[in-house]
Copies of this chain bind each other. A is one copy, B any other.
């Protein structure tokens, strides 16, 4: 299943080229990932409060169409693959007005405990991820 979130390009997110700066797309992807997990019963905030962290270890973004100030943007998030200690999400960023594909992105997250050691994804989080991926 696909998680969807919508946002608008904030003025603070534009740069002097007059378009959304490329670094913000990564934050929008994070919004999509948060929403997808929340929809499937895995609140990232709650996961972290148990001492389990899912830091991002890899990001790839391919930019296709620039996005301007106040333009409505939709982020579609999917789970590409799940392993015992990591999960890979993929994203499509659309310009809402005409459904133009503005960017594609991928992020890999690994599961760590509070000391920064790799660990298995907890079973309930794994179930939520599998449900989100189904």
Measuring CB to CB, which residues of chain A are less than 8 angstroms from any residue of chain B?
8, 10-12, 14-19, 21-24, 26-27, 30-31, 34, 38, 43-45, 48, 53, 55-64, 66, 68-70, 116
Q: Are A30 and B44 in contact, with the CB atoms below 8 A?
A: no
Q: Which of B12, B61, B70 contacts A38 (CB 8 A)?
A: B70
Q: Are A63 and B70 in contact, with the CB atoms below 8 A?
A: no
The 9 closest A-B pairs by CB, nearest first: A14-B16, A23-B26, A16-B18, A12-B27, A22-B56, A59-B61, A60-B60, A12-B21, A57-B63
Q: How far is the CA of A37 from the CA of B59 in the complex (A)?
A: 25
**A68 contacts across to B, CB distance below 8 A:** 45
Q: Are A12 and B34 in contact, with the CB atoms below 8 A?
A: no
Q: Are A11 and B30 in contact, with the CB atoms below 8 A?
A: yes
Given the known interface contacts A27-B23, A30-B10, A66-B116, the answer about A48 and B15 at a Cβ–Cβ threshold of 8 Å is no
A58 (CB) vs chain B CBs: closest residue: B62
Q: How far is the CA of A55 from the CA of B12 in the complex (A)?
A: 12
Q: Which of B15, B43, B62 contacts A12 (CB 8 A)?
A: B15
Q: Are A70 and B10 in contact, with the CB atoms below 8 A?
A: no
Q: How far is the CA of A50 from the CA of B84 in the complex (A)?
A: 35
Q: How far is the CA of A21 from the CA of B8 in the complex (A)?
A: 17
